[in-house]
Amino acid sequence: MKTKITELFEIEHPIIQGGMHWVGFAEMAAAVANAGGLGLITGLTQRAPEDLAKEIARCKTMTDKAFGVNLTFLPSVTPPDYPGYIKAIIDGGIKAVETAGNNPAKWLPVLKENGIKVIHKCTSVRHALKAESIGCDAVSVDGFECGGHPGEDDVPNFILLPRAAEELKVPFVASGGMADGRSLVAALALGADGMNMGTRFMATKEAPIHQNVKDALVAASELDTRLIMRPLRNTERVLDNAAVDRLLAKEKQLGAEIKFEDIIGEVAGVYPRIMRDGDMEAGAWSCGMVAGLIHDVPTVKELIDRIMGEAHEIIAGRLARMDA
């Protein structure tokens, strides 16, 4: 399938694996790349630029296909060594970067000078237009359904994607609620040039996370995610558990007076305990509503092949018959 996204990133299928904290290791990125999509190493999961350089090198031993790096720009008193991470990306020969968080304008010139294509994650049309205006090559449009941070506008993809298509000139992918061939065809019909999957890729054989997490995703329904940190205007969609219950109780009790320090025990430093150790009650962890569409744990290749097979059948079969 040829789209502007497959041409831009020189991949076989218009499917991108989103950056996920403590999930986007070399194993994940390589598996997606080998299956014809764009796999991404999550930069800030690596504690230092030297570690990212090693992870990029490790990924190159697992695939000879192109893969990228996710780099999230966070507001912080002591920010990560972003120049170091970017140097590791450039020195590693990476040609695709997914940026997220704060405006990446400061870093675009050096990335562009080194032939790197940039796709920026956005949760609104206005942010997507800003990303386009500063020179991003593509945009990932994240609807309200997505796991992680859906923004504060609460616009789902059935509205957000066609609005993006009306306004944007650069290609974009749909993120949030993407799971199968139906998702891909719907995204294309609404104006996107591909799709970004996060939660769905977690429930694969190669995902380097604890089996308890994969089992939780298969067991979950579309009703099992919650929104946390709304009073802090840092909304995150997570899978419901005891830690989330405690956090939401604090939000209700403290109301507008709540501070990040009040919930730090439920959100700070919990990912290693969940993703690596399988402690499912350790804290809040990002999960999309798409969990309701996850029913198995295939290999990445089986998943992508299945998605593309379903998409082609829907386009050439079901829709073609309706249009006859």
| Mean predicted confidence (pLDDT) in 79-86 | 96
- State pLDDT tens for residues 163-181: 999 999 999 999 999 999 9
The answer to whether the beta carbons of residues 22 and 276 sit under 8 Å apart is yes
Is the pLDDT reported for residue 77 higher than 80? no
The residue written with tokens 């059935």 in the block is: 158
SS3 111: helix
pLDDT at 271: 97
CA dist 147 and 196 (Å) reads 12
Structure tokens at 3: 């789209």
* Helix segments in the chain, DSSP class H: 4-9, 26-34, 49-60, 82-91, 108-113, 125-133, 157-167, 181-189, 199-202, 211-219, 242-254, 260-267, 271, 300-313, 320-322
SS3 97: strand
Percent of the chain with pLDDT over 90: 98
Residue 188's nearest CA partner among 311, 290, 292, 309 is 311
CA dist 8 and 138 (Å) reads 9
The answer to whether the beta carbons of residues 37 and 304 sit under 8 Å apart is yes
| Mean predicted confidence (pLDDT) in 22-38 | 98
Inter-CA distances, 199 with 16, 132, 189, Å: 12, 26, 22
Q: What pLDDT band is residue 76 in, cutting at 50, 70 and 90?
A: confident
DSSP state of 299: -
Other CB atoms within 10 A of residue 223 CB: 10
| pTM over the 0.95 mark | yes
| Mean predicted confidence (pLDDT) in 290-317 | 98
pLDDT at 74: 87
CA dist 245 and 150 (Å) reads 20
Beta bridge partners of 119: 98, 138
Name the percent of the chain in helix, strand, coil, to the closest 5.
45, 15, 40
Q: Of 71-80, 150-159, 230-239, 278-287, which gets the smallest average pLDDT? A: 71-80
Give the chain's domains with CATH numbers.
4-208 (3.20.20.70), 221-286 (no CATH)
DSSP state of 298: -
The answer to whether the beta carbons of residues 282 and 213 sit under 8 Å apart is no
Inter-CA distances, 74 with 23, 101, 121, 207, 222, Å: 18, 6, 13, 25, 29
| Mean predicted confidence (pLDDT) in 11-34 | 97
| Mean predicted confidence (pLDDT) in 41-49 | 98
